[in-house]
Structure 1
Amino acid sequence: MDWQLLGIAFITVFLSELGDKSQLAAIALGSSCNSPRAVFFGTASALLLATFIGVLVGQGTAEVLPERLVKAIAAIGFAVMGLRLLWPKSELSDVSEESE
């Protein structure tokens, strides 16, 4: 087993999940029930399943597309999402929302 890769994956996912909406949902569920153990196992298994699916999709993608292309697509996707968050709404979308 590649222990360095394991550590990098753990740290990356751990830090990205802190304050995530799934963690907030777990906090809400844990505070409103009498079985925190069930909430823990339910949320942990959901995260495991979602991660497993992501790894399988990533492995399948790596077999079909070159790594450099996948990284470029991911970078462009994150840049587009970041710009959309920073860019103010256009007046055209405001007009269409008002007519609904």
Structure 2
Amino acid sequence: MDFQLLGLSFITVFLSELGDKSQVAAIALSGSTKSPRPIFLGTAAALLLASFLGVMVGQGVAEVLPTHLVKIAAAIGFGVLGIRLLWFNQGEHSETDFSE
């Protein structure tokens, strides 16, 4: 087993999930019940399933498409999302007057 890859994927997922809306939902659910164990098991199972599906889809894509093409597509996708967020959200916020 490649422990360096295991550690890298653990750290990446752990850091990306901190403060995520799923964590906020788990906090809200656990605050409204006296038994946190089912909430922990449910959220852990959901994260495992989502990660499993991501790995399976990633493996399938890696067998069909070359890595550099996937990286280019991801870079273009992130660029389009970034431009969209910067460009189109400015118009929505400019109508709000915070000076009052």
**Cα separation, 2, equivalents of 1:15 and 1:40:** 18
**Partner-residue secondary structure (3-state), 2:88:** coil
Q: After superposition, where does 1:57-72 map in structure 2 within 5 Å?
A: 57-72=57-72
CA RMSD of aligned residues (A): 1.4
* C-alpha distance after superposition, 1:23-65 (max 9, x if no partner): 1111111111111010000000000000000000000000000
- TM-score calculated relative to the size of structure 2: 0.85
1:90 to partner: Cα distance: 8.6
Q: After superposition, where does 1:16-31 map in structure 2 within 5 Å?
A: 16-31=16-31
Gaps of 5+ in 1: 92-100
**Partner-residue secondary structure (3-state), 2:60:** helix
Q: How many corresponding residue pairs?
A: 91
- TM-score calculated relative to the size of structure 1: 0.85
| Runs ≥4 residues deviating over 6 A | none
